[in-house]
Amino acid sequence: MTAAHYINGHWQHGEGVDCITVYDPALGQPFAELIAASPAQVDQAVAAARSALPAWRNVSAQQRAAYLRGFAEHIDQRREALIALQMQNNGKPHHEAVVDIDDAVATFNYYAGLAEQLTARQGREVPLSAPGFTAHTRLDPVGVVGLIVPWNFPLVTSAWKLAPALAAGCTVVLKPSEITPLIEQTYGQIADALGLPAGVLNIVGGKAETGAALSNHPGIDKLSFTGSNAVGSQVMRSAATFCRPVTLELGGKSAILVFDDCDLDQAVEWIVAGICWNAGQMCSATSRLLVQDSIADALLLRLKSAFETLRVGNPLTAEVDMGPLTSQAQWSKVNDYFAIARAENLQCMAGGEVVRDPGWFVTPTLYADVPLTSRLWGEEIFGPLLCTHRFSSEDDAVALANDSRFGLVATVISADLVRAERIANTLDVGHVWINSAQAVFVETSWGGTKGSGIGRELGPWGLAAYQSVKHVTRCLG
């Protein structure tokens, strides 16, 4: 068993009750084991972060920026090993794993740049409406933060949280997913290599017990969680107990709207990317295709062909377009939805099958003319299952897109850019792409409306999530 938990600058063996088995999903076989952190070890991690906070918050912003650039450099230096681990533990094709590493590097470099600007932003004078007073603002770190990250984009989602938290002057307790617990250990290794002060970054792995111990801990000043709505609700209840801030990035059931003036072949490329990237295991997957009725038949035939020609397989042994689902539990869940589709008599144009040979594979799946009452239309599945529905008018398309309890992202495909921008303005989501695949840039915001969560990550908004605004007002008399 490896010493998998990084607490107060030291690696520790787990003392929890759970044994975590790490799998290669393309083979359905384990390749590592570790023992979860115990609640007592979570206590140690929070205490270490609390002890390190006063000194870290007073480290110059320039020095914090230097540490962040160090994280970016070390991730880049470990690129090949990290790509291989993403492929082995997540089942990501090589080209997707490369994007993940580039994303993490860019995130740390970006927040290093924002950290370098913090000194200039401190003490800005606030114009007042009455004479005789002066006021200025400070941007203080919110304190000790608990970060709980998912399995579908490990290293990336943690970078989105860790980099701005450290830039702001917060100290951190990070809990990776028990499905992909290994790659986040890289951050502890880099902290050692950089000489990051002990306690600034702590990593405790485990299952639900470890996550509950962290989210319920009275020593945490803020929680940031990415994952399912069910667990997000529990995290929000924990935050409410202590009246502390929380950022939640939750589920999605996003729409991609395709109008009849589009280039059909280009539209197919964007549609496939929106549902098959990471085998559809994305909160942002555009799993509801809304297509204008005059081009629906032609587009669906092209999609059928595209789905059937996607190369699905083990990314470690072949060049593939899509790998396996990351866990057996997710594979079983998708299989359950295939059964629901059969029970609902949905029209399956491509796919609709799970494959166990030997790993956790599913076929890219296309359902045509799905009723709005179908469970597959309304529920987040987290797999490469695309449901389609036709519309006749722009108003109809927008109404269908917004008819969801989620509101994370959407994509609009149209040659009429004026119309596309108009539609983007009416969609109840946090991010809209126009005539594009899901390109996510660290400079833009990430987060949603309705059931997709609370708050924003990335961009300056991601940094602000870890800052507390303080005003200092002084009488001049």
Catalytic residue, chosen from 170, 262, 283, 387, is 283
Separation in Å, CA 217 to CA 55, 135, 266, 324, 441? 22, 35, 49, 36, 33
> How many other C-beta atoms lie within 10 A of the C-beta of residue 453?
28
> Has 262 been annotated as catalytic?
no
Q: What sign does the dihedral 239-240-245-246 (CA atoms) show? A: positive
Catalytic residue, chosen from 96, 178, 184, 249, is 249
Q: CA–CA separation, 469 vs 327, rounded Å?
A: 41
Residue 391's nearest CA partner among 370, 418, 406 is 370
Q: What phi, psi does 137 have (nearest 5°)?
A: -110, 150
The tokens for 417 are 């850019």
CB-based contact 383:325 (threshold 8 Å): yes
């209840």: which residue's tokens? 237
The tokens for 110 are 């970006």
Q: Could you write out the DSSP letters of every residue in 94-161? A: HHHHHHHHHHHHHHHHHHHHHHHTHHHHTT-B---SSTTEEEEEEEEE--EEEEE--SSSTTHHHHHH
């800005």: which residue's tokens? 124
* Interacting residues of 261 by C-beta distance below 8 A, sequence separation 6+: 414, 415, 416
């020609």: which residue's tokens? 309
Which amino acid appears at position 315 of this protein? P
DSSP state of 449: E
> Has 249 been annotated as catalytic?
yes
Q: What phi, psi does 311 have (nearest 5°)?
A: -85, 115
Catalytic residue list: 249, 283
